[in-house]
Amino acid sequence: MKRFVLTDTAEIPDDGGALCLFTYGDDFVIKIQGGNGNQLMNTRTHGSEDALAEIPCKRIAHRPGVRVLIGGLGMGFTLASALKHLGDDAEVQVAELVPGVIDWNRGPLGEKVGMPIADPRARVLLSDVAEVLKSEPHGFDAIMLDVDNGPEGLTRKSNSWLYSSTGLDACAQALRPNGLLAVWSASADRAFSQRLNKSGFKAEEVQVFAHGNRGTRHTIWIAEKRS
């Protein structure tokens, strides 16, 4: 019988608690320490994490010298998907706040995903994605955010800034003309859709399955910067 086996714990900066990495049979699972037992992510169901990169990257792959930014490394599936759908001259930056998550992706967890962190086009930064956004005006063709459970911060309340009007304005400033912002969420949020439009984006809300064509539905906003 399969059971959860704790493999490692990674502290979230600024007293944000900790993330716990478990094995569950052949799979890996990440949970919040002391939470209600719900999984944040696992290596068995990652369809929506794949789609977070696949949808925008397919739309910009024809551009020369594409640069994209991923907020949150997670289990590496979004990074792997971005690399799959972009050309050899692309650069994919990933901003990850938790050092332990980067270590996990360099070890057995990364091997499970195909080690995208080792791709020469990938650049992983130990940094808050908000700081990267502010430092790179007009620097990216696409930004993909999966730093929490969605527009309402769960693992770290300060994450909510990213989804505020101020945070969305920063995303718009960091995008090149006709750049794309993709945002993952566990559920729909009408107020967030309205904020996107007010921040100068033309947004569409896409529903995707967590696992292939079945399972839990997640929401991805695909928002184009109005030039």
Residue 104 lies in a domain: yes
Say how far residue 108 (Cα) sits from the centre of its chain.
Answer: 20
User: 21, exposed or middle or buried, with CB in 10 Å at 0-12, 13-18, 19+?
Assistant: buried
Name the average pLDDT for the chain.
Answer: 91
pTM of the predicted protein model: 0.93
Q: What is the pLDDT of residue 81?
A: 98
* pLDDT at site 91: 98
Mean pLDDT, to the nearest integer, of 93-117? 97
What is the CA angle 189-193-195, rounded to 5? 115
Q: Is residue 4 in some structural domain?
A: no
Q: Does the pLDDT at position 13 exceed 80?
A: yes
Query: Range of 114's domain?
Result: 45-225
Please check whether residue 95 lies inside any domain of the structure: yes
**Could you tell me if residue 215 is inside a domain?**
yes
The count of other CB atoms within 10 Å of the CB of residue 114 is 15
28 occurs within a structural domain? no
% of the chain exceeding 90 in pLDDT: 73
Give the DSSP H or E segment for 223. strand 214-225
Q: Is residue 92 part of a domain?
A: yes
Number of domains in the chain: 1
Q: What is the CATH number of the domain that holds 138?
A: 3.40.50.150
Encode pLDDT of 19-77 as tens digits.
Answer: 999 999 999 999 998 766 678 899 999 999 999 999 999 999 999 999 999 999 999 99
pLDDT at 155: 47
pLDDT at 35: 67
33: in domain: no
